[in-house]
A and B are shown apart, each in its own frame.
Chain A
Amino acid sequence: MRGASGLEGQQTTAKRVQFSSPFLPYLFLAPQLAIIFVFFYWPSVQAIQSSFYLEDPFGFGATFVGMSNYTDVLKSTEYLGIARFTAIFTALVTFFALSIGLLLAVKADGVIRGNATYKTLLIWVYAIAPPVAGLIGMMFFNQHIGPVVELARWFGWDMKVGLDYSDTAFAMIVVSVWKQIPYNFIFFLSGLQGIPVSVREAAALDCRSEFRRFWTVILPLLAPTAFFLLIINVTYALFDTFGVIDVMVKDKAANNPITLVYKVYMDGFRGSDLGGSSAQSVILMLVVLVLTVFQFRFIERRVHYS
């Protein structure tokens, strides 16, 4: 997307020449449309529909209950607590993953020697799946063998990951940030490398302090990349961290922190509360919808800038 945005302005219009055929375009679209209808639209509509019904626990049909699934969910102190944790978790993961990624990208952009090696070593963790990262994290935060626990004990912190709420939250955040740094690094670095040399040289002449130059010239130029990454990181923290959380709490959500997506999963598949889980799904859909609209509007505007 980033790389293509330069072309976008000139090419929003359709091709000058096109084929016309009464059935061929439909034939080419058919496989994608079929899959989208069956696996996207059908379940999405179903989620919205069943969020207004109360399913009989013995499978004898469902009763229409209006908004009561929603009011039940939004009145539950447990749900509100999880929502609060999700917000804090998302904010912290996003903040640290973005700032560490940016710091490393700026430094990697500055050095000449070893540039390619640093780049390879810093991006390859991208390819590790969240639950695999979670497993490795579990070992490092393990009560018996974990070096992080040992280190914490040295500072007088008796860490009990899996038992203590805030210790588990800490471990989850560390692992989630670790896994997301390479992604942000890649985008910030390619954003930095897209800044023309002439701009950098002009800035270097005008302002001697490297730190101020970064804040007043480089960072504003990186703003589009940063904003794009902000949305992606929020989405990552909300949804893709499921694997990290699932491995770390191991089905014992009782006194462990979980996020909203994990709650949907727990209620739907463990508690078989279909209506409540669907209502939660719809609430999450609205959150994503707001994020995406925000993102699209911004991208539209960015085209005018460039």
Chain B
Amino acid sequence: MHRTRFFDHVILLIGVFIMVAPVVVAFMTSTHEAADIHRNGLSLTWGGHFAETYEAVLTREGGFTGKVTGFNMMLNSMILGLGFAVGKIVLSMLAAYAIVYFRFPLATFFFWVIFTTLLLPLEVRILPSYEVMNALKLTNTYTGLIVPLLASATGTFYFRQFFKSVPDELLEAARIDGAGPFKFFIDVLVPLSRTMMAAIFIIMFVYGWNQYLWPTLMTTDEGFFTLVRGIKQILLVWVGSNIPDYNEAFALAILAMLPPVMIVVIFQRWFIKGLTESDK
């Protein structure tokens, strides 16, 4: 019995090592100087250049225009993550409310119109989506960055499931008290959905922050670059340089993962709840 437990722990520790070590190495290496990394390879020890590397990455103006800072990219990532999460919650709660709590002739039709979006992810229709954005003159805008990502039914599906599990008696009681649709939504449903909203917010924030393909297509103006979208630019600059800025690339990778990782770790319980109860 003890023997098997021991091997269980060994396997788990190997798993933890594989998941954690690359990022620890990335962080440690980012505190060394570029020339140092070039000579000695990746590192597991503290290099002592943490402050200057991260300050340089965050505040130095770079890029082709010479005006983009890491801080600016971080701000754009934040706008995308927050805008997407909030937009998703508002849109999908309203739509789910209409579908579950109202009797109207086209309900089934609209239900299918919305849920068909689950069939085709954005990746398979990137080119025509880009053309539409061009026609609407939305490239290089925050609207163009965020709104097209909202065109899917994942959140609506989630809130629809949840609203259906809310006891009918609540609505009956509210109607006896004379509450109309707006009052019922704001005073009863929204407070009831608080945990659900938190869970979906975490999932959607991480999803929005981590977007890559769409921001790559939509933003050519570096002022709108997010951290995740900027990653490739960093790598491209290397081609032809003598000693690549390994330290800065690692620092940027660490900054790009920090906020979503923090949120997932701190709000782990809500995150798992949101994930296992909502996905697709």
Contacts and interface: CB of A to CB of B under 8 A. Distances in A.
Interface stretch (A36-44, A57-65, A164-172): A36-44
A127 B260 CA distance: 5
A140 B249 CA distance: 13
Contact of A11 (B104, B152, B164, B239): B164
Q: Number of contact residues on A: which range applies?
A: 35 or more
Contacts of A121: 16, 19-20
Given A242-B212, A246-B232, A16 B168 contact: yes
A126 B264 contact: yes
Interface string B112-154: 0110011111011111111110001000000000011011100
Contacts of A42: 128, 132
A138 B127 contact: no
B279 interface: yes
A120 B178 CA distance: 47
B127 A4 contact: no
Interface stretch (A66-74, A79-87, A101-109, A215-223): A101-109
A159 B114 CA distance: 48
A305 to B, nearest CB: 18
A26 B121 contact: no
Q: On chain B, which size bracket covers the interface?
A: 35 or more
Contacts of A203: none
The CB with the most chain A CB atoms within 10 A, among B8, B15, B113, is that of B15
A186 interface: yes
A278 B19 contact: no
A29 B110 contact: yes
Contacts of B216: 246
Contact of A132 (B95, B228, B280): B228
Interface string A224-256: 000000001001000100110011001100000
Interface in A263-285: 264-265, 268-269, 274, 277-278, 281, 284-285
A186 B131 CA distance: 38
B38 A264 contact: no
B261 A127 contact: yes
Contacts of B19: 121-122, 124-125, 178, 181-182
B127 A288 contact: no
B65 interface: no
Contacts of B95: 28-29, 31-33
Contact of B103 (A18, A33, A129, A284): A18
A40 B117 contact: yes
Nearest to B147: A35
B168 A277 contact: no
A103 B168 contact: no
Contact of A123 (B119, B175, B268): B268
Interface in B223-280: 228, 231-232, 234-236, 239, 246, 249-250, 253, 256-257, 260-261, 263-265, 268, 272-273, 275-280
A32 B151 CA distance: 7
A139 B101 contact: no
Contact of A36 (B16, B113, B213): B113
A62 B129 CA distance: 19
Contacts of A21: 102, 104, 181
24 contacts: A4-B165, A20-B104, A21-B181, A26-B98, A29-B110, A31-B91, A43-B131, A46-B131, A107-B12, A120-B265, A122-B19, A124-B19, A124-B265, A128-B23, A128-B260, A128-B261, A129-B210, A131-B212, A132-B256, A139-B42, A186-B276, A264-B126, A269-B127, A274-B127
4 nearest interchain CB pairs?
A: A129-B210, A43-B128, A28-B98, A127-B260
Interface of A: 1-4, 7-8, 11, 14-21, 24-26, 28-29, 31-33, 35-36, 38-40, 42-44, 46-47, 50, 100, 103-104, 107-108, 110-111, 114, 118-132, 134-140, 144-147, 150, 178, 181-183, 186-187, 190, 210, 232, 235, 239, 242-243, 246-247, 250-251, 261, 264-265, 268-269, 274, 277-278, 281, 284-285, 288-289, 292, 295
